[in-house]
Structure 1
Amino acid sequence: MTFIGKTLAFLNLIIGLGILAWSVTVYTQRPGWFDKPAADAGPPDRGSTPLTFDQLKAAADASAKAANIASGAWGANLKALEELETRRDRRRVEYAIRKQWAKVGNDKDKGNAFYEPVYEKDAAGKETSVLQLYKVDGAGAYEQVLGEPVLGPDKKPLKGSETLLTNFTDDVKKVVELSQSSYKYREEYAKLSEEIIKDENRLQRMITIRDAVQGELFYLSSFEVNVYETRETVLRRQRQLVVRLLELGGVGLKPDEKKSDEKKAEEKN
């Protein structure tokens, strides 16, 4: 009995020491679930494993805040998306209207089809690269925004393509009609040209005849002048001779000529 008792007491001691060692080990190696994090420690990094309840709570709070922020951003983005979808639908309608204008023209604006671009402005009042097709008033009603009509080479607003094509077709028909009438006028022009050439030939012959007549007239006029001058010279010489003969006593003069010449000589003196 003594041996068995000693053995049991020794085993009890060994077991007690083992339990003591285990208890000390469990206490010293206990998990830090309830440990307080440092004052400057933030929430655990994304992807890390929290080890304490405080870290789990901080991570849960951060996730809740992120979820609230994400939910608010999602709601704001959803509202912005809906506004953009509405704006896109309205702009598609406006583009369809302008496409129709490009064909047949704007019946509310005298058939004008093309307008100068008007751009939207940012918060600073500067123009952006986005076309302003409409604007919304305070009551939420849409109003089209149009620039000045685009003018053509004739300084008039451009019309729709179909209108221009119709005008072009009419112009082609008119050109064909004018070309046909022009053919008749060209025939008349050819006839008139032949008559003009004949008249020019006759005129040239008349000019030649006139030049010949004028040359002959000039010759005759010069001849008449020469005859007149010759006659005057002869008469003047005759008077000189008569005066000289009178000085010599009138020898060789007829009585009538003598009296007449004496009278002329006296008148001259």
Structure 2
Amino acid sequence: MTAIAKTLVFLTLVAGVGAVVFATAVYTQRPGWFGDDVPEGAVPRGHVVMNFKTLARETDTQGKVAGAASALWGQRLKALQDAEDLRKSRKAEYVKLLAAARTAPNGFAELAEDPATGLLNVTTPGKAVIGPDGKNLAGADTLEAQIAKSIDRMTTDLTPKIVKHLVDVKRLQGEISDVQAKLTRQRTIREDLQNEAAYLGAARVNVAEQQGTAERRLKQLDLRLKTFGPQN
């Protein structure tokens, strides 16, 4: 047997052994496409499912999850749409309240809380808010118009009267100053007269005492002179 033949036989033997080993490995490591070993629960992330039953179960699970997510999304969408409709309706009511707060004769009202929703009941406002004058508080524009009217009245009607009264006050202040000066002079004159009356009163007492003394002395002299007259 030649060397070439021996080499071919050896290569054929090696190829045969390799084929047997490969076939054995493929058989032992074959995927169980039609097997019954279905793992419990969802397939872990990164794990490759190797049989049709597990794939069917995984597909069914994912379908249920997708259906639940879709239903939840639909519920959330419905809740969002309801909330948006409620917001629009309440916005319209707030627009009415704001318009009333600007222009209505009864501009402000008390808003009660709805116990069911916890929101302010804007559809049926409560009793009107009472102003400082004891009447229903009017809207802001109405109050501004009243203030503007009052300012205009003050400018056109009251200001000239105020100027005239200021002139009268200044004139009266001058008269009061004159009267006060006269009163001061009268007080000074009265005090002088009172002082003079007190002085004259004291002088009168002295004169009266001296006159009484002189009269008594005169009587004494008359009696004394009579002793020197002719005796009967």
Normalised by the length of structure 2, the TM-score is: 0.69
Q: Which amino acid aligns with 1:53?
A: F
> 2:224 & 2:91 partners in 1: Cα distance?
137
Provide Cα deviations, 1:131-152, integer angstroms capped at 9, x if missing partner. x2327xxxxxxx4355984866
Q: Identify if the C-alpha distance between structure 1 residues 146 and 51 changes in structure 2 by more than 3 Å, giving closer, same or farther.
A: farther
Normalised by the length of structure 1, the TM-score is: 0.61
- Equivalent residues in 2 for 1:232-247, closer than 5 Å: 232-235=212-215
The corresponding residue for 1:95 is: 94
* Counterpart pick for 2:154 among 172, 175, 187: 175
Alpha-carbon deviation of 1:227?
A: 1.6
The corresponding residue for 1:259 is: none
- Asked if 1:113 is matched to 2:86, the reply is no
5+ residue gaps, structure 2, are 1-12
Provide Cα deviations, 1:185-230, integer angstroms capped at 9, x if missing partner. 2222233333333333333333333333333222222211112223
Q: Identify if the C-alpha distance between structure 1 residues 251 and 57 changes in structure 2 by more than 3 Å, giving closer, same or farther.
A: closer
Q: Is the 8 A contact 1:102 1:160 kept in 2?
A: yes
The corresponding residue for 1:133 is: 120
Q: Is the 8 A contact 2:34 2:51 kept in 1?
A: yes
Q: Which amino acid aligns with 2:180?
A: E
State percent identity of aligned pairs.
Answer: 28
> 2:102 & 2:85 partners in 1: Cα distance?
26
> 1:150 & 1:251 partners in 2: Cα distance?
109
Q: Identify if the C-alpha distance between structure 1 residues 221 and 147 changes in structure 2 by more than 3 Å, giving closer, same or farther.
A: same
The corresponding residue for 1:139 is: none
- Greater fraction of residues in strand: 1
Q: Is the 8 A contact 1:44 1:50 kept in 2?
A: yes
The corresponding residue for 1:210 is: 190
Q: Identify if the C-alpha distance between structure 1 residues 26 and 213 changes in structure 2 by more than 3 Å, giving closer, same or farther.
A: closer
- Secondary structure of 1:50's partner? coil
- Secondary structure of 2:163's partner? helix
5+ residue gaps, structure 1, are 1-13, 136-142, 256-269
- Secondary structure of 1:171's partner? helix
> 1:170 & 1:99 partners in 2: Cα distance?
23
CA RMSD of aligned residues (A): 4.0
